[in-house]
Amino acid sequence: MAKTAVCPGSFDPVTQGHMDIIRRASSLFDNVIVVVMTNTAKQAMFTKEERVEFLKRATAGLGNVKVEYYDGLLADYTKLKGASVIVKGLRALSDFEYEFQMALTNRKINPKVETVFLTTTAEYMYLSSSLVKQVARLGGDVSDFVPECIIDDITKKVKHTNADKAASGKM
């Protein structure tokens, strides 16, 4: 039976670290669904439509990968899609406790799902969406951190946000 894996995250925005995990998942499983979710603990810079669109562009060359948005519980989504694996990336020990808790919770809700952890590639160990946003907001070059096809959108968004803040006197 074909194995479907899901790669969940907020992807705000997608980074080379995410792409590394997605590429490796796509070579391990028959089908991969990258699922964009809303992390209520974080204030998103990009809309869900933008985050999905960026991922679609970045994964266009990976034939067995598709991108969707889901607003509910990940464990329910895996049931809905008949996915048996959740793929997550681990950067450091600090990721572990939270991910461990999430994996146990997801298995409790959907006992048929296994969470598989891929260790980050060393060069992306420091990389996070928050870091990309911080560098971009301060006018830095993010070209080493994100897929090339989304760089212009990040620059535009930052200019737009800065212009809005200036207009409302918050800068």
Smallest distance, ligand ADP to C-beta of residue 167, A: 29
Q: What is the 3-state secondary structure (H, E, C) of 7-70?
A: EEECCCCCCHHHHHHHHHHHHHCCEEEEEECCCCCCCCCCCHHHHHHHHHHHCCCCCCEEEEEC
Site membership for ligand ADP, residue 21 (CB under 6 A) = yes
Site membership for ligand ADP, residue 105 (CB under 6 A) = no
Q: Does 129 qualify as catalytic in the annotation?
A: yes
Q: Does 42 qualify as catalytic in the annotation?
A: yes
Task: List residues bridging with 103 in a β-sheet.
Answer: none
Site membership for ligand ADP, residue 18 (CB under 6 A) = yes
Residue number, 11 or 31, with CB nearest to ligand ADP:
11
What three-state secondary structure class fits 144? coil
Closest to 98 (Cα-Cα) out of 15, 48, 42: 42
What three-state secondary structure class fits 89? strand
Q: Does 91 qualify as catalytic in the annotation?
A: yes
Residue pair 64/31 in contact by the 8 Å Cβ criterion? yes
Site membership for ligand ADP, residue 9 (CB under 6 A) = yes
Site membership for ligand ADP, residue 10 (CB under 6 A) = yes
Q: Does 160 qualify as catalytic in the annotation?
A: no
Site membership for ligand ADP, residue 46 (CB under 6 A) = no
Residue pair 86/6 in contact by the 8 Å Cβ criterion? yes
Piece in contact with ligand ADP (CB under 6 A), picked from 86-94, 107-115, 146-154, 161-169: 86-94
Judged by CB under 6 A, which of 120, 142, 146, 158 binds ligand ADP? 120
- Residues 40 and 142: their CA atoms lie apart, in Å, by 25
Q: Which residues bind ligand ADP (CB under 6 A)?
A: 9-11, 15, 17-18, 21, 39, 42, 88-89, 91, 95, 120, 124, 127-129
Enzyme catalytic residues: 18, 42, 91, 129
